Amino acid sequence: MKNLLLTGWLWYIWSHNVVLFLEAWYEVIIFDNLSNSNKETLEKIEKIAGKGKKLKFYEWDLREIWEIEKIFLENTLDWVIHFAWVKAVGESCEKAFYYYENNIVGSLNLFKIMEKYNCRKIIFSSSANIYGPNWISPFFETDQVWDTSNPYGTTKYIIERILRDLHVHNNFSVINLRYFNPIGAHESGLIGEHANQKLGNILPFLLKVANNQQECIEIFWNDYNTIDWSWVRDYIHVVDLAKWHLAWFQYLENNTSIYESINLWTGNGTSVFELLEITREVTSHAIPHKIVSRRKIDIAEAYCSSQKSHTLLWWKAEKTVREAVEDSWNFIKG
């Protein structure tokens, strides 16, 4: 069986993907510096996957190229799925050089070693942030992506362009998966997302308020030109996202010399106040909130067309926003 290297895969989103790849009986090797995760997640992943499945784990950093090469020396690697990032939009505006070093330099190190050891198939974790602030939702893969609004989005754009060059000139096969807003948790309740002020994802904070761990939640202004004046985002269940990764990986297995950029979302937008109301209904708890000043990094609407993915794979997201909230609530309650 061929080996698959997963970078940065113990964090919230990627841990759900590891479960699916183990359940599909792939040989999984994980490379993570634990900056956004911890080793306890390893045990939880193996418990969910069951049947004695074990992960091979390296606690190293992509900025150290010799550490990457050691993995390739010790293992015959055929594919890479690359998720090793720092990814907080707000933080990236404050620490731009830190983001450039981690995301761009680390990726270049990885690509150099991949080429050296003739491992040329990669799925890259891109982002909707590459679409920038001036495009009108829904976003399409054919939209221009150079006008990013924050350093995090800029790093994603730059890496996509580097991979395009590596495809054209160095025979890499590439799939860029552009994410919007994953939410939810595994149905087992063992893995999910906790509130993280740095990342600022809204659902964990709504649930924190519902669970009486926080007094109220801040809503960043309410004068957007949307259905209820709050911003609108495309939320997808993290398990659906994982299934999509597995489907695209199998597509990459069966196709050579390809370069594709793909939106991975439902194609439907949900406003902040709609998400707040769904959370209130699911938890049967009030969600006190207060309106605060709008942030410069925010845009009114960000949702995409998933037409290209549906056309190539004939697959759509299966779980609803309500189901994502229910699974997250189950995880938070422990």
Question: Residue 197: what pLDDT?
Answer: 59
251 is an active site residue: no
Question: Residue 52: what pLDDT?
Answer: 64
Q: What is the CATH number of the domain that holds 292?
A: 3.90.25.10
Quick one: 178 and 206 in the same domain?
no
| Boundary residue ending a domain (263, 280, 306) | 263
Quick one: 81 and 225 in the same domain?
no
Distance, in Å, from the CA atom of 145 to the CA atom of 177, rounded to the nearest integer, reads 14
Give the helix/strand (H/E) hosting 173.
strand 173-179
Backbone angles phi, psi at 147, to 5 degrees: -95, 65
Distance, in Å, from the CA atom of 288 to the CA atom of 194, rounded to the nearest integer, reads 19
Quick one: 166 and 136 in the same domain?
yes
Domain of 306 in residue numbering reads as 183-234+267-333
Distance, in Å, from the CA atom of 198 to the CA atom of 242, rounded to the nearest integer, reads 23
Quick one: 100 and 220 in the same domain?
no
pLDDT tens digit string along 172-193? 999 999 887 889 999 888 888 8
Quick one: 317 and 225 in the same domain?
yes
Q: What is the CATH number of the domain that holds 169?
A: 3.40.50.720
Indicate the number of domains in the chain: 2
* Catalytic, out of 152, 179, 224, 303: 152
Question: Residue 135: what pLDDT?
Answer: 65
Quick one: 147 and 168 in the same domain?
yes
Quick one: 195 and 291 in the same domain?
yes
Quick one: 311 and 245 in the same domain?
no
Quick one: 250 and 285 in the same domain?
no
Strand partners, 237: 183
Give pTM, 2 decimals.
0.88
Quick one: 90 and 19 in the same domain?
yes
Q: How far is CA 128 from CA 34, 104, 152, 218, in A?
A: 24, 17, 11, 23
Quick one: 108 and 71 in the same domain?
yes
Give the pLDDT of the chain (334 residues) as one tens digit per residue: 568 888 876 667 778 888 888 888 788 888 888 776 677 777 788 788 776 666 788 888 899 999 999 999 999 998 999 987 787 788 888 999 999 999 999 999 999 999 999 999 999 989 888 886 666 778 888 887 878 888 988 999 999 999 999 999 999 999 999 887 889 999 888 888 887 655 568 899 999 999 999 999 988 877 888 888 888 888 989 999 888 888 888 888 888 889 999 887 777 889 999 999 999 999 999 999 998 887 776 777 777 777 788 788 877 788 999 999 999 999 988 7
Quick one: 226 and 314 in the same domain?
yes
